[in-house]
Each structure stands twice: as structure tokens, then as C-alpha cells.
Chain A
Amino acid sequence: MDHAFFVQLALSMAAVGVLVALAAWANIAKPSSPLDERRARDLLAYEFPGRSLDAIWVASDGAGALAKSGGLALVICQAGDGFAARQIPWAQAISASFRNGKLCVDLADIAAPRATLSLPSWPPTDLAA
């Protein structure tokens, strides 16, 4: 590897930095409002077609939602200006850690390691079983 390679690498890294800074400055992410229950249900219907929901909890900041569907928990979490969805066993959602109003759900997926949802309380006493 010669000198020119390292010069090219340094310039490329600088260009990446400039472009990321420009994207941040431009503030042109996809417009999206925080999730409310209707929008969370729409998203869940798209991500998990045909699944009926027994109950739904929408994060207080609108950055995610969790729904019970039979023996499964359907989880939506924010990823940048989009959302990612995963399903996990309901028991896994029930045993998720809850501290200071934040539910941290282990999604057991390398591409979606965890979801953090702001909720007033967890687990729900009537559906804990």
C-alpha cells in the first residue's frame, strides 16, 4: 500500500464526514409523526398481516409499540425516521426489564437487538400470564 492509497483513504473519510454533516444540517429526514394507537395498529397490520391483536401498548413518546397477539408479542421500534418490527414469545416480553419508565425488550435478533419503549408501567397485571 503506497502513500497515494492513504491519501485517498483520508480524503474519502473526510468526504464521508462532510456528507454526513450536510445530511444532518439539511434536516430532510422522512416526515413522521409519533405513533398513536391508530397508526401503531396500521403499522402492525402491515408488518404482521392477518394477526389479530389482543391488546396494544403505544410508547408515550410515540417511538414504538408492543402488542399481544395470542402467544406472541409484536414489537415495533423506531429506527431513525423509520420503524422495524419483530415478533417474540409473549413470555419474553413479559419478563423484559422495566426501569425508570423504560421497557427494554430483548428481540434476540442480530439485526434488531433490542427495543426500548417508554411506558407508564410493565408488565400489565391482567395479561401477565
Chain B
Amino acid sequence: MTEAAFHPVTVATPFFIASIILEIVLARLGKADAHYETKDTAASLGMGLGSTLAGLLTAGMILAAMTWVYQHRLLTIPMTAAWAWAAIFLLEDLTYYVFHRISHERRFWWAAHVNHHSSQHYNLSTALRQTWTGGLAGAWVLWLPLAWLGFPPAMIAIQQGLSLVYQYWIHTEAIRKLPRWFEAVFNTPSHHRVHHARNAVYLDRNYAGILIVWDRMFGTFQPELDEEPCRYGLVKNMATFNILRVAFHEWAGIVQDVARRPRHALGYVFGPPGWSHDGSRETSAMIKARAGSEPADVEAGGLTPNPAAGAG
């Protein structure tokens, strides 16, 4: 079985639309904390629609790769077993954490992910501001080991879909904090607000998909602080709502940098976002060190791996 008969995102689409309407109406009535700006909303929803279309271009290639790996699997894991679903839940969520962290800490994958962080708003429409270039950036290879282990591609696709649907509802300011036990285990609106904030203390934190425990385990967790209200967007915010610029600006920036400094191509492509050969720009780690929100163990312009290099 290689094709998912159940697509969680497709099933959830009416819920996405209804919940955005609800958030806007409640905010309008003063019953919910939410802000929508027209051009920003159009850009977010346009990116979401475009992402669906762009995904079709690479879906076949990804499915073929996943199927080929599955044909060379170690084990055969049954889709009907409860333990198998528990295992895929944990392993897929861990894979998502790794993917998401790389997507912030290495510019090549940040170029595909940056658009999701390019809004200065944080509302349910922001959740739909999705990548157009994720398939081409190739981070989907991180999920191939699950097929090699023996999880059917359909099972992996369903779990990926469930994770995306889970992550949708946490893009809101309308929900402040949830019960402590829930905040301790799961990714929540509060944790994910931190992830979308550009405040130095919040940069490159809370990469979780569903379980926040990965961030707690790997040292990238940051709680939302009452004294530090989130400022959303990028370290260098966009001054345009043109969705072509939203989708491709970081890729264009990489091409420009490599063309100007071909000797430093490796750093400009695979270094942390903000890396420059002469230290004239700032990575997230440098910003955090300057702001005093992290020990200053960062070499300016260096390529030292660090937990904070993306922006937003």
C-alpha cells in the first residue's frame, strides 16, 4: 500500500476555513485576541493555495522515493496494529523536530521555510502561509528512514498529515495558556508563539511539531515570558506582500551572495541564516549573544554549529 486513502489535511480543510472565520468574527466582536491585516491575510492564504499546487509538482518524486525505500525495508510493520501507530507518532514527530531545526539552522532549508515566518501577524491564516519550495529543497529525505524501517508510506503520509493539522490550531493569540500538564507535554499556542517571535530571547526555539518534549530534551525549549511580549516576523521583516517575493526572496538572496562571493559559496548556502564571510551580518546566535540572552560562545562569521541560527 503506497497511497494514503485518508488525507488528514484535505479532511480538515473545511475546519481551517470555519475556524479562520470564527477567529475573525470573535476578534471583530472583541471576544478574542486576534489581528488580521488584509494584505497580510491575502499573502498567507495565497501562499497556502500556491503551496498545494507546488506540492503536486514534487509529490510523484517523493512518493516514488518513499515506495522504493519501502521495497527495501528491514521489517514489515502492520498498519492495523495500535503499537505501530504509537511508534509512528513518536518517530514521525521526532523526524519533524529534526527537519524543523535544520530548516532554521541551515540557510538552504531556511530558504524554503522562511516564508512561513514572514508575517508580522500570528493568527490562523499564518498557519497556512506554507512553502512552495519544500519539495525541491529535499528535506523530505529525512522521512525515508521510516519507510526503510518498515512503516508503509501511506502510514507515514497520514501521520505527517495529522501533525500538520495539529500544528494548525496552535497559530493563534486567542488561546493564552493551557493546563500545565498539557503545556509540559504538547506544543501549544504559547510555545509556538515563541517560535514565531523575532525577539532575541525567542529566536530558534521550540521546533516541536506535536510534542514539546523534544525541545525540552534537546535544549531548545523557551517558555513564553510575560515580560517579553512576542514580536512576530523575521529579524529583517519584509516590506512587501508580493507572494512571489515571499516565496523566493531567500533563494534569490543565496544566488546573489554566491554570485558575489563564489569562494564563500558553501557558507552562504549551508551556513546559518545571517552568516557572512566577513561577519558583517548577524546570525541568530550572534543576535542572542549581543542581547545577552545566550552565552557569547559564537565566533562572528563562523560556521560553528549552534542551536540558534535561523530568524523568526
Chain A residues in contact with chain B, CB under 8 A?
9, 12-13, 15-16, 19-20, 22-24, 26-30, 49, 77, 79-86, 107, 109-115
Count of chain B residues near A, Cβ 8 A: 43
Question: Chain B 16-58 against A: per-residue CB contact (8 Å), 1 yes, 0 no?
Answer: 0100110011011000001111111110011011001100000
Judge if B290 is at the interface, Cβ distance under 8 Å: yes
Give the distance to chain B from A72, nearest Cβ to Cβ, in Å: 12
Which residues of chain B from 219 to 258 have any CB-CB distance to chain A below 8 Å in the complex?
233-234, 236-241, 245, 248-249, 252-253, 256
Whether the Cβ atoms of B236 and A111 lie closer than 8 Å is yes
Whether the Cβ atoms of A112 and B236 lie closer than 8 Å is yes
Instruction: Given A15-B17, A28-B28, A28-B35, verify A23-B239 contact (CB < 8 Å).
Output: no
Whether the Cβ atoms of B239 and A77 lie closer than 8 Å is yes
Whether the Cβ atoms of A16 and B46 lie closer than 8 Å is yes
Whether the Cβ atoms of B37 and A80 lie closer than 8 Å is yes
Of all chain A residues, the one with the shortest Cβ separation from B16 is A15
Whether the Cβ atoms of A80 and B290 lie closer than 8 Å is no
Judge if B167 is at the interface, Cβ distance under 8 Å: no
Of all chain B residues, the one with the shortest Cβ separation from A83 is B237
- Contacting residues, chain A, for B34 (C-beta < 8 A): 28
A13 to B45, CA, bound (A): 9
Of all chain A residues, the one with the shortest Cβ separation from B237 is A84
Whether the Cβ atoms of A80 and B249 lie closer than 8 Å is no
Whether the Cβ atoms of A80 and B245 lie closer than 8 Å is no
Whether the Cβ atoms of B49 and A115 lie closer than 8 Å is no
What are 14 A-B pairs with beta-carbon distances under 8 A? A12-B13, A22-B24, A28-B24, A28-B28, A29-B38, A30-B121, A80-B241, A82-B37, A82-B120, A86-B239, A110-B252, A111-B236, A111-B239, A111-B253
- Contacting residues, chain A, for B256 (C-beta < 8 A): 110
Instruction: Given A79-B239, A83-B237, verify A111-B249 contact (CB < 8 Å).
Output: yes
Chain B residues in contact with chain A, CB under 8 A?
13, 17, 20-21, 24-25, 27-28, 34-42, 45-46, 48-49, 52-53, 118, 120-121, 125, 233-234, 236-241, 245, 248-249, 252-253, 256, 290-291
- Find B20's partner among A9, A19, A81, A113 (CB 8 Å cutoff): A19
- Contacting residues, chain A, for B35 (C-beta < 8 A): 28-30, 81
Give the distance to chain B from A13, nearest Cβ to Cβ, in Å: 7
Whether the Cβ atoms of B120 and A79 lie closer than 8 Å is yes
Instruction: Given A29-B35, A49-B290, verify A19-B236 contact (CB < 8 Å).
Output: no
A-B pairs with the 6 shortest C-beta distances?
Answer: A112-B239, A84-B239, A82-B120, A23-B36, A23-B41, A26-B28
Give the distance to chain B from A99, nearest Cβ to Cβ, in Å: 20
- Contacting residues, chain A, for B20 (C-beta < 8 A): 19
- Find A107's partner among B28, B39, B53, B239 (CB 8 Å cutoff): B239
Of all chain B residues, the one with the shortest Cβ separation from A5 is B56
List 7 extra interface pairs beyond A22-B25, A77-B239, A84-B236, CB under 8 A: A15-B17, A20-B42, A109-B236, A110-B245, A111-B236, A112-B238, A112-B239
- Contacting residues, chain B, for A83 (C-beta < 8 A): 237
Give the distance to chain B from A96, nearest Cβ to Cβ, in Å: 15
A114 to B238, CA, bound (A): 11
Whether the Cβ atoms of B240 and A28 lie closer than 8 Å is no
Whether the Cβ atoms of A85 and B237 lie closer than 8 Å is yes
- Contacting residues, chain B, for A80 (C-beta < 8 A): 37-40, 120, 241
Of all chain A residues, the one with the shortest Cβ separation from B124 is A19
Whether the Cβ atoms of B240 and A111 lie closer than 8 Å is yes
- Contacting residues, chain A, for B42 (C-beta < 8 A): 16, 20
- Contacting residues, chain A, for B39 (C-beta < 8 A): 80
Whether the Cβ atoms of A19 and B21 lie closer than 8 Å is yes
Of all chain B residues, the one with the shortest Cβ separation from A75 is B239
